[in-house]
Amino acid sequence: MNKKVHVQDLGLKDYKETWDYQEQLFQETLDLKIRNRREELSLETPNYFLLVEHPHVYTLGKSGDISNLLVDEKVLADKGATFYKINRGGDITYHGPGQIVGYPILDLDNFFTDIHKYLRFLEEMVILTLAEYGIKSERSPGETGVWLDVGTPFARKICAMGVRASRWVTMHGFALNVNADLGYFDMMIPCGIKGKAVTSLNVELGKKEVDLDEVKQKLLKHFQVLFEAEIKEKTEV
């Protein structure tokens, strides 16, 4: 099993460009798995972990409800935002500057073949990272992602998740609000869940800004331990 994970920090990058890049890596891995099976080979499949910030964008999962986007295309354009309907699970999500978006493109045959365990490990990675800032976060029953004050009137989401998997190869991932402009969340019903607020790490800490690179390194540290992975960092595509 190949547990080497190639990490690429893409910086601020257009959503569609990043999605296309994800699809390329995802398809190359799938093709290699199919070739291994067809030709009875045992070539190692690669694993990737892309980190990125996106310009303002809204994405709707394949089972999502478009009515959860509360504004029309003109309002989005006025706000400098774009919209895409995509092939992950989940409902509507916002991405923007000040948010760490992570796309692990893993062959789970290299780790464990359990998609629920995979999601729980991604959540745990975020929970452990936030704990390093003194923030107690947790899961909310039946709602993927990471939350604060679950079960109270003050419940609020700090990290959204939505993944796709085929032949145990994953794509899409998580979005952790670090220095996010929370006003953009007002233009949608986040993840289609009504009456739940959204927050950001800088708001919870009462800071204007939190060091994004520091948060990324903490996420990778916990990812490495949880997945027993060997991290290979590469800053450029």
Name the active-site residue from 51, 126, 191, 229: 191
What's the whole-number mean pLDDT along residues 85-108? 90
Q: Is 161 annotated as a binding residue?
A: yes
**Per residue in 201-223, pLDDT tens?**
999 999 999 999 999 999 999 99
Does pLDDT of 36 surpass 60?
Answer: yes
More confident position, 5 or 193: 5
**4-234 belongs to which homologous superfamily?**
Bira Bifunctional Protein; Domain 2 (3.30.930.10)
**Is the pLDDT higher at 162 or at 20?**
20
At position 30, the amino acid (one-letter code) is L
CB 177 within 8 A of CB 201: yes
| Mean pLDDT for all residues in the chain | 92
Q: Can you tell me whether residue 208 is helix, strand or coil?
A: coil
18 assigned binding-site residue: no
Helix (H/G/I), strand (E/B), else coil: 41: coil
pLDDT at 90 over 90: no
Residue among 50, 18, 31 nearest 233 (CA): 50
With a cut of 70, say whether residue 237 has pLDDT above it: no
Q: Is the pTM of this model over 0.85?
A: yes
Average pLDDT over residues 85-98: 84
147 DSSP β-pair partners: 138, 157
Active site residue 191: yes
66 is in an annotated binding site: no
Give the per-residue pLDDT at 53.
Answer: 98
**Confidence band for 196, pLDDT divided at 50, 70 and 90:** confident
